[in-house]
């Protein structure tokens, strides 16, 4: 099994908990963005203090609804958004202190924050480092100003120019960037120039997403009104197939369909979503899965702060959900253990039959209870996942 000696093999883990906190404010709402976020310009959010108080209130209430989660150990915390780097470091420090006072933390807990380029500086990284944040991800998307303009993203030239240098000298070593491909104003050459900046700097983590057209966004309205072009499909499939080969040459593991990392630098928090581990989702627009139940919070910050914590819990449905997440992994995982832990007899049978069919077609390997996709599966992935989930 290729790369198996270097790659971690993901497995069922029963006693841990992740925490995701959604900070919904950004400098500017990007045209393509489908997350719950609000553009508020350069100033801090007026309601930052009360929002952080509401986070604490929600954590206490979710714990009341599911007291069993207190028996779990937190091993990942993820501050996402929106733009969490827009909130003050002091607010994150207090929230982390609160979480530490309420839960047991694993010694090597991964504590991540998403940072937007306009906020990134040596000083900010030093602050984060001093409060125990040990992973930083920067939403770059593209270094091409025309591309950023197409996306309707805020562009701070000075910060974009210094970004790679600041990350290279960061006191926090677990750093990564997001890049996007398929942006009509960005040529394939320009995309590879961006990628080369990343590779030359040797940063340990890369998320690569394609531009997509999401209903209800400004971008989708602009495409309908013929003001903007649709995402570049041809460039997308070209890049998608080239990247695994290119990044492997530079020592990166392709561990999830859109994510690459140097060995040991995978995002432990995002792996929870893909391996069906429980997580508390806190904040407006956040989703969570705890003790086999899913919930979602209102996508409105003031409503979130005013209303009682939403108590609508839906039982999770592993027979469908497991397929949608687990089979996005391109690194190996103990599929028999996942199937045994989460599926009933009928679903188990279907999973096993489908997986054997894939193996016969040369799409995956299954050895000693360990599953791994072969590269040939990449362009068929959405259809393959549908096969197993229906
Ligand atoms: S910065 Fe990120 S979260 Fe905020 S609007 Fe843009 S894409 Fe959405």
Burial class of 123 by CB neighbour count within 10 A (0 to 12, 13 to 18, 19+): exposed
Rounded to whole angstroms, the Cα distance separating 370 from 4 reads 10
Any residues with CB less than 8 A from the CB of 248 and at least 6 apart, and which? 254
Rounded to whole angstroms, the Cα distance separating 248 from 245 reads 5
- Domains of the chain in start order, with CATH, are 16-273 (3.20.20.70), 317-390 (1.10.10)
**Could you tell me the two tokens for 309?**
């914590």
pLDDT of 263-284, one tens digit each?
Answer: 999 999 999 999 999 999 999 9
50-54, 189-193, 234-238: range with lowest mean pLDDT: 234-238
pLDDT (mean) for 122-151: 97
**Measuring CA to CA, which residue among 260, 137, 253, 242 is closest to residue 188?**
242
How far the first Cα of the chain sits from its last, in Å, is 28
The pLDDT of residue 390? 66
With a 6 Å cutoff on the Cβ, whether 113 touches ligand 1 is no
With a 6 Å cutoff on the Cβ, whether 29 touches ligand 1 is yes
Candidate of 35, 120, 183 to mutate for ligand 1, largest count of ligand atoms within 8 Å of Cβ: 35
pLDDT (mean) for 59-76: 97
**Could you tell me the two tokens for 145?**
């100003």
Rounded to whole angstroms, the Cα distance separating 21 from 113 reads 10
Candidate of 83, 148, 284, 286 to mutate for ligand 1, largest count of ligand atoms within 8 Å of Cβ: 83
Ligand 1 atom nearest residue 81's Cα: 3
The pLDDT of residue 320? 87
Band of pLDDT at residue 4, cut at 50, 70 and 90: very low
With a 6 Å cutoff on the Cβ, whether 290 touches ligand 1 is no
* Contact indicator for 302, 322 with CB cutoff of 8 Å: no
Ligand 1 atom nearest residue 26's Cα: 4
pLDDT of 173-232, one tens digit each?
Answer: 999 999 999 999 899 999 999 999 999 999 999 999 999 999 999 999 999 999 999 999
Tell the residue number behind the tokens 């993820």, with chain if given.
78
233 alpha carbon to ligand 1 midpoint, in Å? 22
Candidate of 23, 32, 78, 81 to mutate for ligand 1, largest count of ligand atoms within 8 Å of Cβ: 81
**Measuring CA to CA, which residue among 204, 201, 222 is closest to residue 213?**
222
Q: Of all protein residues, whose CA lies closest to atom 5 belonging to ligand 1?
A: 29
With a 6 Å cutoff on the Cβ, whether 33 touches ligand 1 is yes
With a 6 Å cutoff on the Cβ, whether 228 touches ligand 1 is no
State yes or no: pLDDT of 363 exceeds 80.
yes
Any residues with CB less than 8 A from the CB of 326 and at least 6 apart, and which? 274, 275, 276, 333, 335, 338
Rounded to whole angstroms, the Cα distance separating 140 from 147 reads 11
**Could you tell me the two tokens for 158?**
């000075």
Query: What pairing do the DSSP bridges indicate for beta strands 73-81 and 38-39?
Result: unpaired
Q: Of all protein residues, whose CA lies closest to atom 3 belonging to ligand 1?
A: 82
Band of pLDDT at residue 152, cut at 50, 70 and 90: very high
Rounded to whole angstroms, the Cα distance separating 17 from 60 reads 15
Q: Of all protein residues, whose CA lies closest to atom 8 belonging to ligand 1?
A: 33
Tell the residue number behind the tokens 């990044």, with chain if given.
247
With a 6 Å cutoff on the Cβ, whether 98 touches ligand 1 is no
26 alpha carbon to ligand 1 midpoint, in Å? 6
The pLDDT of residue 319? 86
Rounded to whole angstroms, the Cα distance separating 232 from 11 reads 36
**Could you tell me the two tokens for 187?**
């040529």
Q: Of all protein residues, whose CA lies closest to atom 7 belonging to ligand 1?
A: 33
The pLDDT of residue 389? 84
Burial call 287-308: b when 16+ CB within 10 Å, e when fewer = ebbbeeebbebbbebeebbeee
The pLDDT of residue 141? 97
């Amino acid at each position: 099994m290729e790369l198996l000696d270097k790659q971690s093999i993901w497995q069922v883990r029963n006693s841990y908990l992740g925490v995701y906190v959604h900070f919904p404010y950004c400098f500017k709402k990007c045209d393509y963005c489908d997350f719950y976020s609000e553009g508020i310009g350069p100033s801090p959010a007026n309601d930052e203090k009360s929002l952080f108080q509401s986070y604490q209130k929600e954590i206490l209430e979710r714990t009341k609804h599911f007291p069993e989660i207190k028996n779990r150990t937190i091993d990942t915390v993820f501050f996402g958004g929106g733009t969490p780097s827009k909130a003050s470091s002091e607010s994150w420090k207090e929230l982390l202190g609160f979480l530490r006072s309420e839960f047991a933390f694993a010694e090597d807990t991964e504590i991540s924050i998403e940072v937007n380029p306009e906020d990134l500086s040596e000083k900010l990284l030093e602050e984060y480092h001093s409060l125990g944040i040990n992973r930083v991800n920067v939403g770059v998307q593209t270094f091409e100003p025309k591309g950023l303009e197409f996306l309707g993203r805020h562009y701070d030239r000075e910060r974009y120019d210094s970004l790679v240098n600041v990350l290279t000298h960061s006191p926090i070593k677990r750093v990564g960037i997001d890049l996007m491909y398929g942006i009509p104003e960005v040529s394939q050459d320009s995309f590879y120039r961006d990628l080369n900046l990343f590779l030359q700097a040797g940063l340990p983590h890369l998320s690569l997403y394609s531009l997509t057209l999401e209903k209800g966004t400004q971008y989708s309205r602009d495409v309908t009104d013929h003001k903007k072009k649709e995402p570049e499909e041809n460039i997308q499939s070209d890049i998608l197939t080239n990247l695994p080969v290119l990044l492997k040459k530079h020592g990166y593991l392709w561990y999830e369909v859109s994510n690459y990392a140097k060995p040991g630098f995978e995002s432990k928090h995002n792996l929870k979503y893909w391996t069906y581990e429980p997580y508390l989702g806190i904040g407006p627009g956040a989703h969570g899965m705890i003790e086999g139940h899913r919930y979602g919070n209102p996508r409105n910050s003031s409503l979130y702060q005013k209303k009682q914590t939403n108590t609508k819990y839906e039982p999770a449905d592993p027979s469908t959900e497991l397929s949608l997440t687990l089979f996005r992994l391109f690194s190996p995982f103990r599929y028999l253990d996942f199937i045994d832990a989460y599926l009933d007899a009928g679903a188990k049978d279907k999973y096993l039959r489908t997986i054997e069919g894939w193996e016969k077609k040369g799409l995956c390997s299954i050895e000693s209870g360990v599953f791994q996709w072969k590269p040939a599966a990449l362009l068929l992935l959405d259809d393959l996942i549908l096969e197993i989930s229906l």
